[in-house]
Structure 1
Amino acid sequence: MPDAPTTTVTTDADHAPFPLPPLTDQAERLIELGLPALTGIDAGELRAFAEKAAADAPPGALLAVHPDRAPASVLAPLLRLAEKPGFVVVDMEDVDAFAPQGLDLPDAPFYTVDGPDRGDHMGDWSPEEALPALTGAGRTPFVLTEGIHWLLQRPDVLERNKCFMTIGSRLRKPDGAFDARTPAIWISNGTGRDGKERKGAPKVGWCWWNNRHTWLGFASTTGRKG
């Protein structure tokens, strides 16, 4: 493997390139998408949480539903780019088994994610290289469902050649080791098993833990509150 990148870890979060709507508006967006019916969450409780959280949440906070209540397999088809629905790659049928690793999610059905950043500055880093750099900068990586929630609110966060990995989600194998697959979200080229009809659609897939991709950053946050 080539030498590790030496780029200083900085983020674009302070520049807010993708400002998020108020938390109450984000709650309405999830309700309009049909998330309560799909997951059994209570729309009234979601609205109440968003209203309460808005009182002290920093600007640009993201509203998220805990993956135990809204797993990736349910959220991914709600994604849209140019009217094309999102999908999970066929060789990731176990997508919901990718669980938070090395971080603690709030023990609550709903929570906020502060300071979301796409991690463009870490393009051409491997997940193995990016993780200690992010934690050293006081950030933690997104879990997969947080990345999907971000795109449900701001589909334009996903841009051709500027997509992202969500390395806070990992899969433990029966022997205790980590599966080398690491979740990422990008835009399908409509090739191979994706199918031509999915060209341009949001795609939940994976990349190897030790591989680098110039077009994949690493989504991260400054913290979470339940």
Structure 2
Amino acid sequence: MTGAAFDAEAEFDRQVARLIELGYPGAAGLTAEQFGETVAPLRGVAASAAAGEHDPERGRVAFVLVVTRQLVPIEETMPRTTLAGKSRPGFVDHSFEEGSLERFVATDAVHLPDPRAYLVFDVDRGEEFCGAVPVDAMGVIADRERTVLTIEEGVALLTLFPEVLVKNKCYMLGGSRCGDRRVPALWISKNAPKLGWCWERNPHTWLGMASAGGRVAAG
């Protein structure tokens, strides 16, 4: 990515417009104007967060606008995802027993800069970790001083860049855990995105580990 090829503020505006188009304001109990006002302070920090590579088809994104479950529940964000060029909505797998998704929260190592909305930057879907043991992949990412993505961050990445989720290059979200051995993950099922989970010691050849350079909030 070069400065001449990437306009961070224009990209931020695109992401906000896409979320409004997908009905995020209504799901958050806000008007489109109120939603825009809520996230608008982040526009000014988008440029400083856009230092990394931006090539979504290769699974690298400069920054992503993350709307947390405090504004819109995960159960309402997943149906607003699709695969690139497809229309079938994403879904939460039934393997999440009733009430369990609420227990998958950010780990102690993950520091959310704002409880409602923020930017995650220098994002990588992490296909280099396809076939790796998840807990080992998380250790490598920590050693690199990067951070694994939470469920909300992974869903935001997919929502705004559907092209990142492709066959054999899906990704786990080790930043959200519930105290057991399950690691959330996004993959493809029934020609649509699915939020499921895998075991922290079970490798999958088609699941990498998504990560980011960090998170930033306005102010």
Report the TM-score when normalising by structure 1.
0.80
Name the SS of the counterpart of 2:16 in structure 1: helix
Matched, 1:91 2:110: no
* Deviation readout 1:73-105 (Å, 9 max, x if unpaired): 121110112110000011214223200002111
Task: Report how many aligned residue pairs link the two structures.
Answer: 194
Once the two structures are superposed, the pairs formed by residues 118-197 of structure 1 within 5 Å of their partners are 118-171=125-178, 178-188=179-189
Question: Matched residues in 2 for 1:159 and 1:55: separation?
Answer: 28
Following the alignment from structure 1 to structure 2, what is the Cα–Cα distance between the partners of residues 150 and 186? 13
Distance 1:51 1:72 in 2: 24
* Contact preservation (8 Å) 1:166, 1:184: yes
Say what the alpha-carbon RMSD is for the aligned residues. 2.1
Percentage identity across aligned positions?
39
Match of 2:191 among 186, 200, 211: 200
Task: Report the counterpart of residue 59 of structure 2 in structure 1.
Answer: none
Residues 40-99 of structure 1 deviation map (CA, whole Å, 9 limit, x = unaligned): 253232452343233433252111112322232121110112110000011214223200
Structure 1 residue 180: deviation in Å?
1.7
Show structure 1 runs of 5+ residues with no match.
Answer: 1-12, 172-177, 189-198
Conserved in 2, the CA contact under 8 Å of 1:183 and 1:204?
yes
Equivalence for 1:37? 26
Match of 1:53 among 36, 45, 49: 45
Aligned to 1:80: 82
Aligned position for 1:23: 12
Most deviating of 143-152 and 47-56: 47-56
**Partners of 2:47 and 2:204 in 1: how far apart?**
39
**Displacement, 1:207?**
0.4
SS in 1 for 2:166: coil
Contact 1:113 1:223 in 2 (8 A): yes
Please give the alpha-carbon distance, in whole angstroms, between the structure 2 residues aligned to 1:51 and 1:131: 30
Gap change, CA 1:85 and 1:29, over 3 Å in 2? same
Moved more, 41-50 or 61-70: 41-50
2:69 pairs with one of 67, 70, 77: 67
User: CA contact under 8 A between 2:39 and 2:117: conserved in structure 1?
Assistant: no
Pair 1:117-2:124 in alignment? yes
Q: Which of 203, 207, 211 does residue 216 from structure 1 map onto?
A: 207
C-alpha distance in structure 1 between counterparts of 2:48 and 2:110, whole Å: 23
Corresponding residue SS for 1:114: strand
Work out the CA distance in 2 between the residues paired with 1:99 and 1:119.
21
For structure 2, the 5+ residue unaligned runs are 52-61
**Contact in 2 for aligned 1:24/1:50 (Cα 8 Å):** no
Q: What SS does the corresponding residue of 2:48 show, helix, strand or coil?
A: coil
